[in-house]
């Protein structure tokens, strides 16, 4: 029997200079890290390859899956270099944004988006440096956009630019991203996060590249633009998961809107069984401190109570002074909240959905009754027999009290299931018959420590086995 951290909420930790060593990665896995995020906005391929090798080695040593999420940089619009480290843009002054490359100063700044003069108009608001500086467009002439400084402040070179009121024509996949995608395919990452998604076609563009390469990689849509909020239903339908990237989102929309948007996105994802990640500044004070603020603890807790599948650490583990302690703290918060999770509230919330086709109605009914049956008979575990992972995701959205043991012969399916709430993967040999499957499940859950002799388990599967989306069977067995 294996000893496990029985935590349902998944923790994604960003790996960087503070955490890329094999020894640190081992302690992070032991402390509750489930998925490694590699941020391709930074680093080179040699560094990424070295980190991946360490992740695989550390996971093998700790006996957990090595699940890697590659976060693509995306089309971040930025200012150029400055003539000194930082300058001050003063309120009321005029500054020119130009598409012609130059060294910036207090009067003129280079912007790395050539279409900017064609896509903005007079009166549009432009935000610099994560929204700290606010400009208003006065006029456009050729390659130059003349702006008035409405809110001033200090700015360094290569700072981000946001234009919330304009739907830009820029693609979510840059040329750099396309090279990074090839690298990710070659190194068999499990997920790719697409930055600055605006519409469903952005997801389809990346999926088309993956399909042509015969790469079974999940696509996570990062929600951080106003356009993405307006197109959220179509984006959720096409993506394999959603990340609520609250940093840029809180620049694109008023920050007071973000909590309700977070809840809305989680609710929509829960209803259709798409994993949802909450990210940005969750335990930011732990970059330097060993103790989080009370507000940060509440943020993590409320994200879980809202229905998040995963919570994510960024600079806290990539650059922070206490990467392992930060993971351990997040895991402790998750386990405490899960111990009092209002499981009974998830069933009616998820079930309030529009009528779908008959096939989905069967899947909805079976997955719902798997969870309610497990509750009624006080089952020890729920087992999802699945080829694609679909069965497990449909059950996971109901937030069962029991762990969901995901059994599949498909290695990629098992690793992808690590993103879903309460799911733990176990590889089994392929099977053809119900009786054969049930007997193999009984032996496996006992061996893996998910149940003991005389415990009751609930098994869900699709018959015939191996057919995608055919969840239609529920079985109750004693171990």
Strand 456-462 with 471-478, pairing: antiparallel
Annotated catalytic residue: which of 9, 225, 280, 413?
A: 280
Annotated catalytic residue: which of 7, 8, 26, 37?
A: 37
H or E stretch covering 456: strand 456-462
Do residues 279 and 246 touch, judged by C-beta distance below 8 A?
yes
Catalytic annotation on 212? no
Token pair 């820029």 is at which residue?
170
Neighbouring C-beta atoms of residue 367, cutoff 10 Å: 27
Strand 133-141's sheet: what is its strand order? 108-110, 94-98, 144-151, 133-141, 125-128, 161-162
* Buried/exposed 112-150: b ≥16 CB within 10 Å, e otherwise: ebeebbebbeeebbbbbbebebbbebeebeeebbbbebe
Annotated catalytic residue: which of 78, 108, 178, 477?
A: 78
Catalytic annotation on 280? yes
Q: What is the rounded distance in angstroms from the CA atom of residue 64 to the CA atom of residue 380? A: 22
Q: What is the rounded distance in angstroms from the CA atom of residue 281 to the CA atom of residue 317? A: 11
Q: In three state form, how does the secondary structure of 336-373 look?
A: HHHHCCCHHHHHHHHHCCCCCCHHHHHHHHHHHHHHHH
Q: What is the rounded distance in angstroms from the CA atom of residue 276 to the CA atom of residue 272? A: 11
Q: What is the rounded distance in angstroms from the CA atom of residue 326 to the CA atom of residue 216? A: 31
Catalytic annotation on 37? yes
Q: Which residues are designated catalytic? A: 37, 78, 222, 280
């Amino acid at each position: 029997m294996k000893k496990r951290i029985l935590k349902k909420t998944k923790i994604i930790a960003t790996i960087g200079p503070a955490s890329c060593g094999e020894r640190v990665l081992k302690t992070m896995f032991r402390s509750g890290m489930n998925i490694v995020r590699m941020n391709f906005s930074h680093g080179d391929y040699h560094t990424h390859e070295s980190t991946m090798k360490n992740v695989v080695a550390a996971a093998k040593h700790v006996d957990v899956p090595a699940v890697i999420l590659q976060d693509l940089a995306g089309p971040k619009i930025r200012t150029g270099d400055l003539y000194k480290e930082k300058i001050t843009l003063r309120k009321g002054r005029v500054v020119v944004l130009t598409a012609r490359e130059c060294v910036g100063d207090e009067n003129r700044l280079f912007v790395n988006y050539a279409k900017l003069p064609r896509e903005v108009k007079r009166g549009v608001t432009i935000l610099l440096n994560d929204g700290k500086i606010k400009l208003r467009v006065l006029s456009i002439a050729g390659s130059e956009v003349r702006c008035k400084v409405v809110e001033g402040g200090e700015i360094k070179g290569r700072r981000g630019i946001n234009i919330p009121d304009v739907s830009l024509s820029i693609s979510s996949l840059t040329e750099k991203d396309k090279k990074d995608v090839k690298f990710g395919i070659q190194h068999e990452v499990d997920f790719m996060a697409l930055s600055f998604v605006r519409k469903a076609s952005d997801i389809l563009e990346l999926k088309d590249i993956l399909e042509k390469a015969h790469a079974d990689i999940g696509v996570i849509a990062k929600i951080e633009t106003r356009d993405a909020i307006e197109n959220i239903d179509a984006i959720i339908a096409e993506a394999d998961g959603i990340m609520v990237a609250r940093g840029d989102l809180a620049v694109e929309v008023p920050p007071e809107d973000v909590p309700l948007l977070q809840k809305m996105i989680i609710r929509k994802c829960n209803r259709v069984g798409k994993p949802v990640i909450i990210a940005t500044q969750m335990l930011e004070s732990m970059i330097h401190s060993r103790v989080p603020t009370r507000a940060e603890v509440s943020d993590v807790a409320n994200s879980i109570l809202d229905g998040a599948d995963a919570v994510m650490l960024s600079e806290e583990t990539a650059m922070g002074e206490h990467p392992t302690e930060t993971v351990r703290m997040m895991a402790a918060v998750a386990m405490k909240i899960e111990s009092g999770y209002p499981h009974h509230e998830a069933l009616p919330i998820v079930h309030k959905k529009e009528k779908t086709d008959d096939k989905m109605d069967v899947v909805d009914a079976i997955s719902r009754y798997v969870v309610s049956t497990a509750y009624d008979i006080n089952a020890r575990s729920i087992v999802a027999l699945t080829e694609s992972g679909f069965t497990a995701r449909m059950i996971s959205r109901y937030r069962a009290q029991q762990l969901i043991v995901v059994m599949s012969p498909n290695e990629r399916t098992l690793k992808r299931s690590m993103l879903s709430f309460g799911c733990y993967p176990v590889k089994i040999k392929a099977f053809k018959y119900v009786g054969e499957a049930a007997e193999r499940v009984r032996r496996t859950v006992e061996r893996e420590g998910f149940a003991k002799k005389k415990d009751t388990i609930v098994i869900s599967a699709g018959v015939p086995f191996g057919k995608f989306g055919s969840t239609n069977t529920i079985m109750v067995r004693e171990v």
